[in-house]
Amino acid sequence: MPVKVTPSSLMDRLPVQFFSTLVGKVQQSVAQGHDVINLGQGNPDQPTPPHIVERLREEALKPEHHRYSPFSGRIELKQAIAHWYKQEYNVDLDPETEVAILFGAKTGLVEISPCLLNPGDIALVPDPGYPDYWSGMAISGGEMVTMPLLAEHDFLPDYDAIPTTTFDKAKLMFLNYPNNPTGAVANHAFFKQTIAVAERHNIVVAHDFAYGAIGFDGHKPISFLELPGAKEVGVEFCTLSKTYNMAGWRVGFAAGNKDVIRLLNEIQDHYYVSLYGGIQMAAVTALTSSQDCVRELAQLYERRRNRLYDGLASIGWEAQRSQGSFFCWLPIPKGFDSVSFSDYLLDKAHVVMAAGRGFGVHGEGYVRVGLLVDEPRIDEMIDRLRGLPLSF
């Protein structure tokens, strides 16, 4: 007789993976023979730059990388991260104490909650926001209090609308600019206000900077760590996935407050024995070589963004242009909610857009579009939408 497997209460607390549900719908449509234009996910479509791939090929031949890497990662990569922060943002970091190497930024964004929160502790989470923030909350048993991101406030949290009693109880705050899913960016004034709030109420700030390399209209997104006092109150999470098209390589890092960095390194000691050494050395090449490939990538996404919004305007679908990331946040037509509209597009036009409701209550009324197909494919998507009876 097989044993009866009873899941722990943790498994019951974990949120439903929104994107796995979306992928299932897409796969079903493809299996039916449809030509699906998938704008619903955040998987970069360009290859990793050749000089990074070549460095991995070279490193893979070295026997030293066939052994376990140091638990907290190679010092060469930590030094490269510090170099990158200094070069790009004029931020000084101690590579030994203010940098943690991660198996992708997602890992750290999930891990920070159990590092800091006990059951019942409060974390402030953006709504709409990246669903994996919720996963860490479920693992820690913490209580999630959402911060609405509304168009009338430029998709930034309105700290004046949050009760002081809530701030006093909070131990952690998640932020993400350039923002997924809204494409909004933050300015120095907002981050300065954030630091003041964190200092006043003893809150650790976790800034998700996954899309930091992607800004539009001559704007370079700013790092939270650029602001005086930022390292005293928080950490910033970065990934090579979006910046260098290295999504499958799973390289990320956290930087900032040394006490939080120590905790992240400690929890990872129990989960991992560091990242493959050859990949770490290829990441060194990515961070310390010419950054022309990064700038060219941002320009590619800007061309796609412009093509998308120009096409949408031609069919009467007006929306505020995204300022950063490779996502666009579009208000849905009349007569739908976000899930029914997403399903309608997949059924009638074989176009995938992610329902805003999947990013939180305040994501309702929107769909998220990824700029992850080429311009002719964007044109084809617009042509398919042109034939639908939509009322904007």
Q: Where are the alpha helices (DSSP H) in 100-245?
A: 105-116, 132-140, 164-169, 188-201, 230-233, 240-243
Q: Are residues 41 and 77 in the same domain?
A: no
| pLDDT value of position 154 | 97
Q: What would you measure as the largest C-alpha separation in the chain, in angstroms?
A: 66
Gap between the Cα atoms of 313 and 120, Å rounded: 47
Q: Which of 288, 309, 328 is the last residue before a domain boundary?
A: 288
Please report, as a single letter, which amino acid is at residue 99. Answer: V
> pLDDT category, 301, cuts 50, 70, 90?
very high
Q: Are residues 252 and 301 in the same domain?
A: no
Assign residue 321 the CATH number of its domain. 3.90.1150.10
pLDDT at 19 over 80: no
> pLDDT category, 12, cuts 50, 70, 90?
confident
The closest of 299, 358, 376, 370 to 330, measured between CA atoms, is 370
* Number of independent structural domains in the chain: 2
pLDDT at 336 over 90: yes
Q: Are residues 92 and 108 in the same domain?
A: yes
The answer to whether residue 137 sits within a structural domain is: yes
CA distances from 238 to 102, 105, 177, 212, 325 (A): 9, 6, 11, 8, 13
Q: Are residues 281 and 298 in the same domain?
A: no
Assign residue 276 the CATH number of its domain. 3.40.640.10
| pLDDT value of position 202 | 97
Task: Supply the mean pLDDT for the chain.
Answer: 95
What tokens were used for 95? Answer: 């590579």
The answer to whether residue 282 sits within a structural domain is: yes
Per-residue pLDDT of 52-77, as tens digits, reads 999 999 999 999 999 989 888 999 99
Q: Which of 235, 265, 288 is the last residue before a domain boundary?
A: 288
The answer to whether residue 3 sits within a structural domain is: no
